[in-house]
Chain A
Amino acid sequence: MNALRIKKGASRKSAYDLKSTYGDEIETHTLAVLVDNEAGVLARVIGLFSGRGYNIESLTVAETDHAGHLSRITVVTTGTPQVIEQIKAQLGRLVPVHDVHDLTVEGPSVERELALIKVAGVGEKRVEAMRTSEVFRANVVDSTLESFVFEITGSPEKIDAFVEMMRPLGLVEVARTGVAAIMRGNAT
């Protein structure tokens, strides 16, 4: 038997190219995952994403029902529709997971993020920063003669816009919480 000639520089990318009737375009979805608030549960969720090569754009977690020992993880992820379906199914089979809701699919939802933004400057730049913050309805939660810390709440896009506005005005540091999201109306 002769050896096979492998072309020099042959592609190293996976040959398992998954073609399905799903679309190939990348979508962004916000998932609300209700989990038992037990040790290691966040590691399980994050480990699932990293182990299977899924993306996390944003992730927030906190206990939401103390008596019921339940936490809510809000995760914003991207992928093809097929990958999004897999992510939901994989999350759903984790033992401490009670429920997985795809807020992007299930109906209109509200998404909010909180950010703390530090801007340093004096003179006209400082005044401009203050003026812009009023337009964005950001609050000043700390100030010195040379700096402000703004608190701003809104959609991630609004926060992105505010950060961009602050950049030439002396932006020093940004802390963001990640997205918290909930369905509109009386549905749960």
Chain B
Amino acid sequence: MTRQMSGAQIVVKALKDQGVDTVFGYPGGAVLPIYDEIFQQNDIRHVLVRHEQAATHAAEGYARSTGKPGVVLVTSGPGATNAVTGMTDALMDSIPMIVLTGQVPTFMIGNDAFQEADTVGITRPCTKHNWLVRDTNELAKTMHQAFHVATSGRPGPVLIDIPKDVQFANGTYVAPAKADKGHYNPRVKGDMDRITELAALMETAKKPVIYSGGGVINSGKAASMLLRELAEATKFPVTSTLMGLGAYPASGDNWIGMLGMHGTYEANMTMHDCDLMICIGARFDDRITGRVDAFSPNSKKVHIDIDPSSINKVIHVDVPIIGDIGHVLEDLLKIWKSRGRKTEAGAISKWWGKINEWRAKDCLAYKQEGKIIKPQYALQRLEALTKDHDRYITTEVGQHQMWAAQFLGFNDPNRWMTSGGLGTMGYGFPASIGVQMAHPESLVINIAGEASWLMNMQEMGTAMQYRLPVKQFILNNERLGMVRQWQELLHGERYSSSWSESLPDFVKLAEAFGAKGIQVSDPDDLDDAILEMINYDGPVLFDCLVEKHENCFPMIPSGKAHNEMLLGNASTEGAIESGGAVMV
């Protein structure tokens, strides 16, 4: 059945037909017709953010915690350009997101009209695909295509730019099932010969490791369950990237912690010394590999990924398998079982002996002493007091993010939202708003540093308006901690612009918005304060004053290999050589 309706009505109808229940956005001249339609219906909730960047991060939080695409609606010009950071973030972390932008009317495009920007031009490199719709009759098809592109294959952000006259004009609506989705259709099934090759490698590996990533989570809950089955059945150790935390449970027997620059000693040594590396939905990012020519020198490498361009981009692999993680793992388990469920059990148990030796180094050790709260201690107490809750964690970017990854345990996928690839300060607070919108009854905590948090602090207004009881757990060291750490290690302890001058009184700031503020500085008061935060029904700004000069360890210095890791108590002199100093 086809129907005539206005472009604005088509947009809202398409959103409903795609199952959208929440839109994050900010109105403006070029999207008023769509906002008018939103006003006249009750199926889709619109969340008014205080800055368009926050709308994109909130949509990312919504998407990562639900597995559904996040939807953003903003106006032309500055509305669109403010959304660029969030789209780039979603592209780097493979988050499905649909961004709808208003545009000046078609007859004014190119005239430098008020609030005009070349939105599709600006966002071409930071979206998976984008469209400028010049004809209302194309709008429904484009909307459905956008959802298809954003959610299939490697997920990512897409953008539809809709001129105002296209929103006003009448056109024909087509339902999702009837719409032409185009030729884009990435394959999900892996090559069976390659999967069989992997099964054979698993049978003979003496020092295997599973290195999993965000792709496992993107593939859906079933993929995480299959990963667990694979690990349990083979006894292979499992490590994960920052993005993949929770796919394999932190409480699982095979868990050896996160890997990479601030990963655990045991995870990185396992990666370095393994003879079979099974990379599942990760992309050999530079935070993971360290020095690439010294990366796991003696292993056969298998890479399972849905994106062919991830294969051999950084590290040459022996067995590439292109496909969806869920599909490939299902086939892999079937084949491996049919071949007799064989592993080198004796050798693997010896391998675990080695891993446990590395683990005995206790690389995350720190000393909580005296009257100053160590950030690690604050996170350990937060973990102890919240781990049994129905809990979602978001983070900002910096030291606190790495400590959160090290000290919080994630036992389920979709519970951990953090800006990995782009490293966007200001991500966590709006993301927590998006998560709380999707999970109104759950405990949503944003682990933040004071500097990152200030980047999107205006969202206090959003949290209050929609009664979102998000907890802002700020580890306040009055420093740009990670910048300060690098300046200490690399730039002669010259702390150029890395301290937070003129900080607000966070308690008063919370109160000014009508929220609750809590400040704690004494380790003895920490538990009570955390409980007060959890039990308060409303947004809380938790200002935790912590040790100002704590460094985040362990650390693989830039330009170094996995087995050249710095531990907390090691001397860092000469740790980074000139070659490594140019790396970020």
A15 within 8 A of partner (CB)? yes
Contact A11 B579 (CB under 8 A): yes
Contact A11 B578 (CB under 8 A): yes
A66 within 8 A of partner (CB)? no
Partner-binding segment picked from A55-63, A92-100, A141-149: A92-100
Query: Bound state CA distance, A175 and B292, in angstroms?
Result: 44
Contacts of A21 in B (CB 8 A): 316
**A174 shortest CB reach to chain B, Å:** 31
Contact B121 A43 (CB under 8 A): yes
**B124 shortest CB reach to chain A, Å:** 6
The chain B residue with its CB closest to the CB of A39 is B132
Contact A18 B292 (CB under 8 A): yes
| Interface residue ranges of B39-67 to A (CB < 8 Å) | none
Q: Given A1-B572, A20-B316, A22-B316, are A93 and B308 also a contact pair (CB < 8 Å)?
A: yes
1/0 contact trace for A83-101 toward B, CB 8 Å? 0011001101111101000
The chain B residue with its CB closest to the CB of A17 is B293
**B340 shortest CB reach to chain A, Å:** 32
Contact B313 A16 (CB under 8 A): no
Query: Bound state CA distance, A6 and B580, in angstroms?
Result: 10
Contacts of A6 in B (CB 8 A): 490, 578, 581
**B148 shortest CB reach to chain A, Å:** 10
Contacts of B573 in A (CB 8 A): 1-2, 4
Contact B583 A15 (CB under 8 A): yes
**A7 shortest CB reach to chain B, Å:** 5
Contacts of A123 in B (CB 8 A): none
Query: Bound state CA distance, A17 and B291, in angstroms?
Result: 8
**B9 shortest CB reach to chain A, Å:** 25
The chain A residue with its CB closest to the CB of B574 is A4
**A165 shortest CB reach to chain B, Å:** 42
Query: Bound state CA distance, A144 and B307, in angstroms?
Result: 58
B374 within 8 A of partner (CB)? no
1/0 contact trace for B118-158 toward A, CB 8 Å? 00110011001100100000000000000001000110000
Contact B309 A89 (CB under 8 A): yes
| Interface residue ranges of B547-584 to A (CB < 8 Å) | 558-559, 571-576, 578-583
A14 within 8 A of partner (CB)? yes
Query: Bound state CA distance, A36 and B493, in angstroms?
Result: 54
Q: Which applies to chain A's interface (DSSP): helix, strand, loop or mixed?
A: loop
Query: Bound state CA distance, A17 and B314, in angstroms?
Result: 10
**A148 shortest CB reach to chain B, Å:** 40
**B280 shortest CB reach to chain A, Å:** 19
Contact B309 A90 (CB under 8 A): yes
**B122 shortest CB reach to chain A, Å:** 11
Contact A7 B578 (CB under 8 A): yes
Contacts of A92 in B (CB 8 A): 308-309
Query: Bound state CA distance, A115 and B490, in angstroms?
Result: 54
**A13 shortest CB reach to chain B, Å:** 8
Contact A95 B309 (CB under 8 A): no
Contact B124 A4 (CB under 8 A): no
B251 within 8 A of partner (CB)? no
Query: Bound state CA distance, A1 and B312, in angstroms?
Result: 38
Query: Bound state CA distance, A125 and B124, in angstroms?
Result: 51
Query: Bound state CA distance, A14 and B583, in angstroms?
Result: 7
Q: Among A2, A51, A82, which residue has its beta carbon within 8 angstroms of that of B312?
A: A82
Q: Given A1-B489, A4-B573, A39-B132, are A19 and B292 also a contact pair (CB < 8 Å)?
A: yes
Contacts of A36 in B (CB 8 A): 182-183
B311 within 8 A of partner (CB)? yes
**A9 shortest CB reach to chain B, Å:** 9
B residues contacting A by CB (< 8 A) are 120-121, 124-125, 128-129, 132, 149, 153-154, 182-184, 186, 286, 291-293, 307-309, 311-316, 488-493, 558-559, 571-576, 578-583
The list of the 5 closest CB pairs from A to B, nearest first, reads A10-B578, A89-B309, A3-B492, A20-B316, A95-B129
A residues contacting B by CB (< 8 A) are 1-4, 6-7, 10-22, 36, 39-40, 43-44, 47, 51, 82, 85-86, 89-90, 92-96, 98
What are 16 residue pairs bridging A and B, where the CB atoms are less than 8 Å apart in the complex? A3-B488, A4-B575, A6-B578, A7-B578, A13-B582, A16-B292, A16-B583, A17-B292, A18-B314, A20-B312, A89-B311, A92-B308, A93-B307, A95-B128, A95-B149, A95-B182
